[in-house]
Structure 1
Amino acid sequence: MLPSEKLNFQGPYLRQNWSLPDSFIYNLAIKPSNANGFAKLVKSCKYFYSKNPVSLSPIFPKLYKTDFEKLDLSIQTISYNDFLFISSNVENIELIRVVIKNEEVPYTIVPLEKLVKALPKIKNISLCENQNHMSSIFTRNTVKELLIIPHFSKISKITLHNIPETFDIETFFAFIKKNKITKFRLYFHHSFSAAYKNCLEAIIDEILQTENHDYKVPCICFYGLEEKKWKKLQSLYDKN
């Protein structure tokens, strides 16, 4: 049983029957005349934001400095330099389908370990990346690089979605058992090999068969995990 992925728009909806031609409405969404007018359109109907999600990039040059302690971004593409500018003081961060790119062309996605290293005050991280990107925020070196970041082991809570099998879960689980501070929620991508699935199963079985945990039990979920095991693991996680 897998938990539902967070959605941007939830609840019932009805297809709009515009009094104006669809082409006119589309152009209105893509090329709004001004920011105030577009804000009113977004409040009136989900359609306008879905066709033209607000982009943060034009805002950055107008900012003098930022002191954000909490940062939630969704469906954005920003540069690494802009990320550094807005996140230097961030303690809580949530990134939903956000692409943070290096400046070089063609651009590459900044890996998770580089983002964490740039967040010295971070306490809580929640990350869900877009499954359709050609490259991933997770690399083969992600676990290795994360574990040498001094403040990584002091983070209170880390939630990661769509983790690929390049993620070295065995090394990471060994770290989890030594860490006494961080609560982990790890949701794995639906596509992985049988060998990787067996590895995840073995880790979960070890957790469930251990009577007394001297570490914070992680919540680990993947497609194909038995519901009984999932519920028991969730219960142990909640008791942390």
Structure 2
Amino acid sequence: MSCTTIPSKIMAKKSTTEESKNFLSNRNRAFESFHRQSFPFRNSIIRYISKNPASPKIYQKLIKSCKYFFVENPVLLTTKLRYNFKWKAEFNGIRKEVKIDNLPCKLWITSDIFVLAFSEKTVVSSIVSKIYRCDSESLTLQRQTISSDELLILSSNVLALCLVEVIVTNRNGSILVFEKLFNAHTKVMAFQFTFPSSTSTINAKTVKELIKIPHFKNLNKFSFWKVPDIFDIEGFYAYTKKNKHTRFRLYFADTISEGYKKRLNTVIDEILEAKDPNYRPFSIHFNGINSEKEAQLRNMSVKI
């Protein structure tokens, strides 16, 4: 009994209201000739293969070889998923709008996710239930409130993680502290985090706990934005003298006190006086910093 392939139209139709109907119509037509297959293997083996493809490439080969595999596990492969007032996904290099609520299949994301939202605080949560698998190596979220479980579905494989004013919650609804957030992302190589204005995820012990995490020292880049003055700048400075690999950048909140600015200036002066330190200096920015000193720090952090 021969197997027939799924038309490529199934993989890349626009999901606007009208084209969603076309998608379903094409899908239904494609399956009109579908019938049960008689494989020379046990059903349990075939079912396992259909539900657990090892890679996107293997999944595509399966569904092109036989409609059965798509019926058993209907998944659309997309390299990129974007949100900016509406969801768009990239199929075979072509970006198309998708209506998440009407999507008849789940998504397998292979490259990156970018969510730019302003007032829609939970829009990213709406996509989580529609994801079959996420192999994304880059994730950017802005102004979202998301549970730690939902975040890990999206970020478990990321190498570059950017969270802009994102609030991550525990299962009981409490705010996840930053060091635990970072600790969950063992593969990340570039990390950028902007603190939410409404809440703080760090305390006086954050730096001490953060530097205990084994993969923290493996980072290529680490950027903190809107850092509050509870941040242990002296402890962090002491650590950077031992880490010659990571490029650190700290951008402090406008609300930091004058006393804290004096502490920052003390650290800056000590770094600059060293002239040729045997470690990578970190760049600092805050409202009122001497622009010449800031430029010197930035240049030193790049050269080493």
With structure 2 as the length reference, what TM-score do the two structures score? 0.59
Distance 2:233 2:265 in 1: 11
Percent identity at matched positions?
A: 36
1:92 paired to 2:156 = no
Unaligned runs of 5+ in 1: 1-28, 38-48
Give the alignment partner of residue 182 of structure 1, picking from 225, 246, 251: 246
Amino acid across the alignment from 1:213? P
CA contact (8 A) 1:138 1:163 kept: no
1:55 to 2:119 alignment: no
Aligned pairs (5 A) from 1:223-234: 223-234=287-298
Matched, 1:114 2:183: no
In the other structure, the counterpart of 2:267 is 203
CA distance in 2, matches of 1:236, 1:118: 31
- May I ask how many residue pairs the two structures share in their alignment? 194
Which runs of 4 or more aligned residues in structure 1 lie more than 4 Å from their structure 2 counterparts after TM superposition? 34-37, 49-54
| RMSD (Å), alpha carbons | 2.3
Larger radius of gyration: 2
Q: Distance in 2 between matches of 1:167 and 1:51?
A: 28
* Residue of structure 1 in register with 2:194 after alignment: 128
Q: What corresponds to 2:203 in structure 1?
A: 139
Whole-angstrom distance in 1 between the partners of 2:123 and 2:248: 30
Q: CA deviation at 1:51?
A: 5.7
CA–CA separation in structure 2 for the residues paired with 1:209 and 1:180 = 18
Secondary structure of the corresponding residue to residue 153 of structure 1: helix
* CA deviation string 1:39-58 (max 9, x = no partner): xxxxxxxxxx7565770112
Question: 1:103: Cα distance to partner?
Answer: 2.1
User: Cα deviations across residues 21-50 of structure 1 (Å, max 9, x unaligned)?
Assistant: xxxxxxxx9xxxx9659xxxxxxxxxxx75
The residue correspondences of 1:5-24 to structure 2 (distance < 5 A) are: none
- The Cα of 1:130 is off from its aligned counterpart by 2.4
Give SS of 2:192's match. strand
Question: For the structure 1 residues 163 and 210, does the alpha-carbon distance in structure 2 shift closer, same or farther, using more than 3 Å as the test?
Answer: same
Q: Offset of 1:194 from its aligned partner?
A: 2.8
Choose from 146, 152, 165 the match for 1:78: 146
Please, which moves more after superposition, 187-196 or 167-176?
Answer: 187-196
Query: Greater strand share, 1 or 2?
Result: 2
Please give the TM-score of this superposition, normalised by the length of structure 1.
0.75
Amino acid in structure 2 at the alignment position of 1:122:
V
CA distance in 2, matches of 1:170, 1:185: 15
Q: 1:165 to 1:63 in 2, by over 3 A?
A: same
CA deviation string 1:95-140 (max 9, x = no partner): 1121111221xx3221211111001111000111222x1x212222
More contact order relative to length (CA 8 Å, sep ≥ 6): 1
AA aligned opposite 2:134: T
Which of 256, 266, 269 is residue 192 of structure 1 equivalent to?
Answer: 256
Hey, what's the Cα distance between the residues in 2 that align with 1:211 and 1:226?
Answer: 17
